[in-house]
Amino acid sequence: MYDGACPTCRWAMGLYQRLAPLQEVRWLDVNEARSGLSPAEQVRYMARFHVRDSTGRLLSGAAAFVALWLVMPGWRWAGRVARLPGVTPVLERLYSGFLRLRPTLQRWMRAAEVTHLPADMLADLRADHAGETGSVAIYRGMLWASRNVQVQDLASRHLRTEEQHLEMMRALLPPFRRSWVLPVWRVAGFWVGALPALFGPKAVFATVAAVETFVDLHYQQQISRLASRPDNAPLLALLLECQQDEREHLEEASLSQLTPPGLALRLWCSAIGTGSVAGVWLATWI
C-alpha cells in the first residue's frame, strides 16, 4: 500500500513494478482506493509504506520493504540480509529520514513534472523557452541602445509580444526543465539587439529579419512534427500562435528594409543565423 498521489512514492513503486513484473505482489494505490478505507486507515497508509504479508501481518516502513524483497525474484538475498540481527532497525532509521525529506522531494518532483507534454518535444520546448528569453533580451537591448523613433516603436511593440511568448513558455515548462544557462541567452540576446541598434534602423531591421526568419523556421519544424498527432492539439495551437507573431515581426522588418543590406550587414546576419542554430542545439542539451 503506497501513496499514489506522492510523486516520490509513485516513482519508487513504479521502479519495483518494472523490476519484477511477475512477482506475487498486489499493489494498492491508497490515494485511489480512499473510498474503501476509514479516515484513520487513509492517514496511516498515506503516511508510510505498508505491506500485508501472506500470513495477514501488517508491516510498515523498513519491515514492509523487507517483506516485499523476500517475495521478489532476484531480491530475496536483500530480504535475507535485512533480516540479520540489527539490520532492519538501521533501515528503519533511513526510512524515517527519508520521510522527513519527503515533502521537499515531493515539491522538487512536482516542479519537474511534465506529464502534460509529449516526451519527444521536451528538448525543443526547452530551446523555445531559451529562445523567447533571448528574444525579450534582444528587444530590450535595442531599446537601451537606440533613441531612434522608428527603432523604439518597433522594439517596444515586439518586446510586448515576446514577453507574452515567454509567459506562455514559462506556463508550459516547469523550472527544472528549462535551460540551465538562461543568463547566457539573456546576455547574448541583449547584445544581438544592442549592437545593430548603435548603427541605426537599417541594421536593426536586418537583424530582426534574420532572427525572426530563424525562429519561424524552428517553430515550423516542431509544428510539422506535431501536425499529425491530434492528442497534442493544445500545444500545436500554442506553437502556431507564436509562429504567427514571429512571421508578423519578420514581415514588418523585411518591409522596413528600403535598401538591400551591405556586405558587413550581410555577414552580421549570417553570423546570427549560425549563432541561432548553435544556440538551439545547445539549449536542447542544457
Number of residues counted as binding Fe ion (CB under 5 A): 6
CA atoms of 209 and 223, how far apart (whole Å): 21
In angstroms, give the least distance from the CB of 268 to Fe ion: 18
Whole-angstrom distance, CA of residue 182 vs CA of residue 105: 24
User: Smaller CB distance to Fe ion: residue 13 or 142?
Assistant: 142
Supply the minimum distance, in Å, between the C-beta of residue 215 and Fe ion.
6
Q: Which CB, 110 or 160, lies closer to Fe ion? A: 160
What Rg value do the Cα atoms of the chain yield, rounded?
A: 27
Stretch that binds Fe ion, among 29-37, 155-163, 186-194, 252-260 (CB under 5 A): 155-163
Determine, following the binding rule CB under 5 A, whether residue 140 of this chain makes contact with Fe ion: no
* From 15-23, 62-70, 146-154, 241-249, span contacting Fe ion (CB under 5 A): 241-249
Q: Which of 139, 172, 249, 272 binds Fe ion (CB under 5 A)?
A: 249
Q: Which is nearer to Fe ion, 124 or 132 (CB)?
A: 132
Stretch in the footprint of Fe ion (CB under 5 A) among 17-25, 78-86, 115-123, 243-251: 243-251
C-alpha distances in Å from residue 274, one per residue of 84, 93, 181: 63, 55, 19
**CA dist., res. 165 & res. 159, Å (int):** 10
Q: Which amino acid is at 216?
A: D
Q: Which is nearer to Fe ion, 3 or 132 (by Cβ)?
A: 132
Q: Between 9 and 166, name the residue whose CB sits nearer to Fe ion.
A: 166
Candidates 246, 253, 269, 283; binder of Fe ion (CB under 5 A) is: 246
Shortest approach of Fe ion to residue 166 CB, angstroms?
8
Query: Could you tell me which residues come within 8 angstroms of residue 231 by beta carbon, excluding any fewer than 6 positions away?
Result: none
Residue 162 as a binder of Fe ion (CB under 5 A): the answer is: yes
CB closer to Fe ion, 189 vs 261: 189
Residue ranges in 195-234 that form contacts with Fe ion under rule CB under 5 A: none
What's the residue count for the chain? 286
Q: Which residues in the 164-183 window bind Fe ion by CB under 5 A?
A: 165
Instruction: Please give the C-alpha separations between residue 136 and each of 24, 115, 166, 230, 238, in angstroms, as whole numbers.
Output: 56, 28, 8, 31, 18
Dist CA 269 CA 267 (whole Å) = 5
Query: Of the ranges 107-115, 181-189, 247-255, 260-268, which one interacts with Fe ion (CB under 5 A)?
Result: 247-255
Enumerate residues 118-137 that contact Fe ion by CB under 5 A. Answer: 132, 135
Nearer to Fe ion, 50 or 165 (CB): 165
The site for Fe ion (CB under 5 A) is made up of 132, 135, 162, 165, 246, 249
